[in-house]
Amino acid sequence: MKKYLILFALIMSGLVLFAQREYLPVPEDLEHFLTTKTYVVLEDSPLSDFNLEIKQAMAELWNITPFEYIKLADFPSKSQDANASFLYTSIVNFEADKTKSRYIFMHLSLGGQNLGIDDLRDLANVPLGYYGVDPDSYSYKIGVFLTFMQNHVMLMKEKPEIISANIYKHYNDNISEIKEKTLYLTEEELDKEINTAARIKQNYPYKFRIVSREEIKQAVLDQDENVVFLHKVGPEGKKLEARCYKIIIGAADAKFYYFDFHKVNAKNPDGFLLSDLKKLVK
């Protein structure tokens, strides 16, 4: 079970909320979501990268529900609105994780009468980064994840049989399509076994490039249909036993082509592994 820590900078109360969630959406939730207004919860910082990116992305990409921006301070009361849905970020750890590792997640959730923000029902959530990393490492991908969430909701609505606790593994059915694309990888996200072009070529016969974050950002801005890229979320070498998420995403279609995670240890470092690369070839 996950434990979510939604840290609200409410100066007057110093509110810190802990929530236990284990929820799978049902078809009625998905139908109801399409009738809601989506409230985008902005972070308090005037320099927030999330605020900047989410405002641009919502204006350009969001077409599934009407939306409005709200302040963090208004979130607790608004969360009880049964006709509302919410987009927001939180700090997440996992109940069984003795390392107390924390991750930044973006959520799309339903509100409800008598539901506090502890109890919001997630329709989708995605890991953006490890808590404490520079937001520059993921902020430019927010629009991609926003599009993914919309598409994911519609996919669940059309195919409710795929809904499960490990629903994102469903997207591994798309692995075979990667060979038709160019796989963009950044050196810092790769395990040392595969952190050079020569090492990758030994195990991956399809098109790839080792690129900079700026090149991935440009592929996203260009809506390059020929590019898929790796999004890695891990403890950046700071903790063993923390989770390392690995997602391969389409720069244009925002589709997940691969999703997995592993626990970081001596044999499985924090990064995209040789074993991951081999799964893309099968």
What percent of the chain has pLDDT above 90?
72
Comparing 98 with 86, the larger pLDDT belongs to: 86
pLDDT in tens, 6-50: 544 433 323 233 444 567 899 999 999 999 999 999 988 878 899
User: How confident is the model at residue 155, as a pLDDT?
Assistant: 97
Measuring CA to CA, how many Å separate 116 from each of 37, 54, 231?
Answer: 18, 24, 31
Confidence of residue 128 (pLDDT cuts 50, 70, 90): very high
Comparing 62 with 2, the larger pLDDT belongs to: 62
Most confident of 39-53, 94-108, 131-145, 168-182: 168-182
CA angle 42, 256, 209 (to 5 degrees): 105
Half-sphere exposure of 46 (CA within 13 A, CB side): 0
Return the domain boundaries, the chain.
2-160, 166-281
Average model confidence (pLDDT) for the chain?
Answer: 89
pLDDT in tens, 186-245: 999 999 999 999 999 999 999 999 999 999 999 999 999 999 999 999 998 777 788 999
CA distance 156 to 233: 25
Measuring CA to CA, how many Å separate 113 from each of 3, 5, 147, 192?
Answer: 22, 21, 28, 50
Give the tokens for residue 168: 């994102």
User: How confident is the model at residue 99, as a pLDDT?
Assistant: 77
Does residue 3 register a pLDDT over 80?
no
Q: Which residues fall within 8 angstroms of residue 206, CB to CB, at 6 or more apart?
A: 178, 179, 183, 280, 281
pLDDT in tens, 195-212: 999 999 999 999 999 999
pTM: 0.91
CA distance 1 to 274: 29
Measuring CA to CA, how many Å separate 257 from each of 44, 70, 98, 179?
Answer: 34, 33, 31, 11
Does residue 272 register a pLDDT over 70?
yes
User: How confident is the model at residue 118, as a pLDDT?
Assistant: 66
